[in-house]
Structure 1
Amino acid sequence: MRTPIILVAAALTLATAAPAFADGQGATERRTAAFMEALERKNLTALSALLDPDVTMTLPLSFSGRKEDAARFTGKAEVLGYAKNAFAMFGKINFVNKKVTVSKDGKSSFVQADGDFTTADGKPYRNVYVYHFEWRDGRVIRSAEYGNPVTFCATFPATPGC
């Protein structure tokens, strides 16, 4: 029995596409890990290299419990300003129990992690995080940081909105 040529062509197409498809996921997973590592090292230069100039970042969980963003940052300068402020607030930034999930097309990634941080004055800060990143041409174009606002406000009660 002869295999129809269309089935052979389809099999060859899938076989040759699979490595490129997997590489897209692998590249996104590596970039996501690099982003998280840059946060842990407080490395603004490395973060900047991973951000699109027109990046947007939101903190979707409000301090009030209402359906509103706690904060929104537009453009690389604002996002880096947020990171710089966070770096000043924390002595140690360490994400543990990290789980990275990448979409099949490599255009989106999620990180679920526990924070094992200390504040700038050395007090423990434990929060839970989910990050969502959307990628284009190897850079973040949109991101969202989900952290427990109750934990944040209990640690930093003087923050506006807490």
Structure 2
Amino acid sequence: MTTADLAERFLRALETRDVEQIIPLWNDNGVMEFPYVPEGSPSRFEGVDAIRTTLASAFVQRTMMSFFDVTSYQAVDPNFAFVEFKGDMTLQSGAPYNNTYIAKVEARDGKLIHFKEFFNPLVDLAAGNPREAENQ
């Protein structure tokens, strides 16, 4: 499985909102990073336990997640890929949350070790910053 395939598998697993289906895709020392989160929200989660906790919280805040228009780019280095995608979500409040993303993905031995996701932070702020609510 290529790193690009693994990234797409991760997105599909996120749609299930089942943390225990997602965690096996990660290396124990994996890092999930969101450099553009609005102020007041954590932007880096190191280790599978931190990833598990933040995803479980995100799934409470989002009652539906769907990713589409997914385009993957496998780098020449087999450990790296880039993924462009769009997401439709429904927040716990019932409000829609739609954003566009680019992720830099790194994997080793068939496991994710770094997923760095870039998105429009103004969409987070317009939605009431659901990431802030996750970490309260």
The two structures have a TM-score, normalised by structure 1, of: 0.73
Gap regions ≥5 residues in structure 2: none
Aligned to 1:44: 19
Is 1:123 the counterpart of 2:95? The answer is yes
Q: Which amino acid aligns with 2:14?
A: L
Tell me how far 1:157 sits from its aligned partner.
4.5
| Overall identity of the aligned pairs, in % | 26
Aligned with 1:94: secondary structure?
strand
Query: Which amino acid is the alignment partner of residue 112 of structure 1?
Result: E
Which of the pair is proportionally richer in strand? 2
Structure 1 residues without counterparts, runs of 5 or longer: 1-25
TM normalised by structure 2 equals 0.85
More helix by share: 1
Aligned structure 1 segments of 4 or more residues deviating by more than 4 angstroms: none
In the alignment, structure 1 residue 58 sits paired with structure 2 residue 30: no
- Equivalent position SS for 1:122: coil
**1:27 is aligned to 2:2:** yes
Aligned length: 131
- What is the alpha-carbon root mean square deviation over aligned residues? 2.0
Structure (1 or 2) with the larger CA radius of gyration: 1
